[in-house]
Structure 1
């Protein structure tokens, strides 16, 4: 038999798909860009908070509709790489032989987080449309929905994504231990942020979990092993 017809198999099978680290960078970049572009187009105005002054919020939406629209556009765009990251990482864990419920929990959390940030961005787009900001009570209702979906609901779902991935990664050593442990800590903070629904002071947990998750997503994406035979299945 000629060597040209021989089939050589690598001893280590490798998962194929998008690079989750690159997807995490795109997601992080788009979300942070949404905040920066709002600040630039609004000349440094603070983004309206749902528990702040309704009059002040109305003035921001009336004066800077383009800033709101571009903020919504970039956040809408961020939802796509987050969903792709979720699909890629859960697929890789399944490929590695992880048959635990964490994979399904991570898939549910990541897709849900992507959907909620989509809802929040579309609410932002609605608030920037002509006439919406003129009706302060309608504006406030949509603003509350935008905050609840893009803030609390998105972060809690993101916590499920982090926990669902971190547990099997810790047990199977598919990522460095510090990456897995940081994911579990951030997941706990994310779930505790649910208290912000009734305790306003707990709202400070939201940005802690959000911006901490960016580091975790990128770290997990670049350190999660691709090779099935390097580890035993869970």
Structure 2
């Protein structure tokens, strides 16, 4: 007597891995960064964080007169770096899960981790600038502010562009994202890479906020639209 076990044994189903919601992570990153920026400016009497290319005496005076807003801004920047790293790891895993075997997911992961690391460093430098022990030395204050600008500006924005590009390219080629969104990501990534010019030409620093804020908005949109499963056409 034989028993037919074909009906009892079913092929294993491929489970779709969960993880944090990418859109929600993007919102958290943007919210933490913007809250720190807005609160820091409001607590400083409406005076924004000074550009390192301004008058040296005014810059030193700003840090001496506004230690708490500077410390708050640094703390929120550091806080925003953590969900950004989680976003990079999650989106890289998602792209692999969707069958993407080109360098895009790894580029996204590398860019996101670098962007997170530099943003965290910028926040820690901001915290250092808020300390009275540092503010007594104007030369040290200026040096730390330039380092803060380098880390939170070019150091953060350029790899942030790599994160966007690492998602946008496979999103376009594999049709994982709407074409308009994928192409917009490529443009934003290009602007982010061009912001490297801020290290050579002071006037090119205007590219940094353009690339930063458009990239954050793009990451939120991509986080909501990137699918969890790849739908293949039959036939």
Give secondary structure in 2 for the equivalent of 1:225: coil
Aligned to 1:194: 196
Aligned to 2:70: 68
Aligned to 2:227: 225
Any conservation in 2 of the 1:13–1:227 contact (CA below 8 Å)?
no
TM-score normalised by L of structure 2:
0.92
State the distance in 2 between where 1:7 and 1:208 align: 56
Following TM superposition, by how much is the alpha carbon of 1:15 offset from its aligned partner in structure 2, in angstroms?
3.4
Of 69, 77, 90 in structure 1, the residue corresponding to residue 92 of structure 2 is 90
Aligned to 2:186: 184
Give secondary structure in 1 for the equivalent of 2:134: coil
State the distance in 1 between where 2:15 and 2:184 align: 28
Following TM superposition, by how much is the alpha carbon of 1:177 offset from its aligned partner in structure 2, in angstroms?
1.2
Q: RMSD between aligned alpha carbons? A: 2.0
Q: Which runs of 4+ in 1 moved over 6 A?
A: 6-12
Structure 2 counterparts to residues 121-200 of structure 1, below 5 A: 121-200=123-202
> What whole-Å deviation, never above 9, does each CA across 1:98-117 have from its counterpart, x for those lacking one?
00011111111000000000
Gap change, CA 1:205 and 1:27, over 3 Å in 2:
same
Aligned residues: 228
Following TM superposition, by how much is the alpha carbon of 1:14 offset from its aligned partner in structure 2, in angstroms?
2.9
Gap change, CA 1:200 and 1:187, over 3 Å in 2:
same
Any conservation in 2 of the 1:102–1:164 contact (CA below 8 Å)?
yes
State the distance in 2 between where 1:119 and 1:218 align: 23
Gap change, CA 1:89 and 1:9, over 3 Å in 2:
farther
Gap change, CA 1:111 and 1:174, over 3 Å in 2:
same
State the distance in 1 between where 2:225 and 2:39 align: 31
The unaligned stretches of length 5 or more in structure 2 are 1-7
Any conservation in 2 of the 1:172–1:231 contact (CA below 8 Å)?
no
| 1:215 aligns to 2:220 (yes or no) | no
Give the structure with higher Rg (CA): 2
Following TM superposition, by how much is the alpha carbon of 1:13 offset from its aligned partner in structure 2, in angstroms?
5.0
TM-score normalised by L of structure 1:
0.92
User: Does 150-159 or 11-20 show the bigger shift?
Assistant: 11-20
State the distance in 2 between where 1:188 and 1:211 align: 14
State the distance in 1 between where 2:60 and 2:168 align: 42
The unaligned stretches of length 5 or more in structure 1 are 1-5
Give secondary structure in 2 for the equivalent of 1:132: helix
Aligned to 2:207: 205
Any conservation in 2 of the 1:34–1:71 contact (CA below 8 Å)?
yes
